Structure formats: C-alpha cells, structure tokens
Amino acid sequence: MTYRVLVLVSGSGTLLQSLIDARDAGRLAAELVAVGADVECAGIERAKAAGIATFVHPMPRLLRRGTPERLDWDAQLAERIAEHQPDLVVSAGFMKLLDQPCMSRFGDRIINTHPALLPNFPGAHAVRDALAAGATTTGASIFWVNDGVDTGELITQEAVEVLPGDDEASLHERIKIVERRLLVDVVNQLAAQH
C-alpha cells in the first residue's frame, strides 16, 4: 500500500522540491498526494508544475492560537488535509503553528524540519539566533510536531559548522542542503515502517 504524504508550505518550497526531485528520480518511497498552503506562494507553483494536487487555505489575518476564530480556521484546514487521506503530514516551511483541531486528527503523523540542533534555538529565527549567540555549530533537525514550538520528539538531526564570516543567508543555505537530504531520508524511513 502506498505511503501517502501531504506537504504544507508557506514560501519558496525548496524542501518540497527535494521531495519532488527524489520522487522524480525514483528515490522516494512515498506518493506526494497534495500540497497545501496558507498563502499563494512559490511552493504551490512548484507542486502544480510537478502535477501534485494543491489547495490554499488563507488565514484572514493573524489569529492567536486557541481563539475561536483560529480554532475554526484550523478545523477547516484539518478538513482540507483529511480530503487527501495522508499517512504523513510534512510541515515544510509552513509558517503557522497547528492548533488543537489539526493536532487531534493528525498529531501522531506530522513532522517538521528546523534549521538548528533542537532543543537549541527554537522559533522562527533559529539561524539568526545561533549567529547572535556565537554558536560554532548549529544544524538541522526533523521532529514530530506537538503542541509546543519546536518541542516535539526528535527523529534525526545533523550538525552544520558555523564558518568564519558566515552571515544568516550563507549559513541558512548550508543548513537547507542538510535539511533537504534528511527530509527525504526520514520520509523514506517512515514509509518503510508503514
């Protein structure tokens, strides 16, 4: 039985592209059944170009987690995800934290990537924070999503050295290379266990 993967994106979709490239090269042991986003973005365009079903579920404005309006938005997102019957949901640069409706339906099958060696430097500015802290090593992590911010159980991580002269862009680019490889590996491992 095919292992069905749905990917959530908010931006350029380079992590998604690593999965598409692996699929096209016959190196992905899973089917990419859909790509969802909270905004129209390059990631959605990448999915369309690759022949993958897409949906956009915009948030009308920034809504705090736990509020009735946010819970309603999240419940609708859960319905959109459920339509595609995924075995795994990959948060790949999806810039919204999932709330209770999504977590209660899919919480045991959502993974995320993060550009740091968790639990160090959680949150949206991990690369900048690592540089500001004077870290000599950072890296990439893949973990199971829980109700916290980058606090879920680690699946894997790999160190990336901070080089002299690194700025946020150069360091992040080297981390992304590792993130992309780890993501494909983890999806294949989870598919093999399915």
> Directed axis angle between helix 14-24 and helix 42-49, to 10°?
10
Active site residue 172: no
The CA distance from 18 to 32, in Å, is: 12
Strand pairing class (88-91; 53-56): unpaired
Chain-centroid distance, C-alpha 16: 8
Of the candidates 57, 84, 114, 194, the residue annotated as catalytic is 114
Segments of the chain assigned E as strands: 4-9, 31-37, 53-56, 88-91, 110-114, 137-144, 154-161
Contact between residue 66 and residue 99 where contact means Cβ atoms under 8 Å apart: yes
List of residues 6+ apart from 165 with CB closer than 8 A: none
Question: Which residues carry out catalysis?
Answer: 114
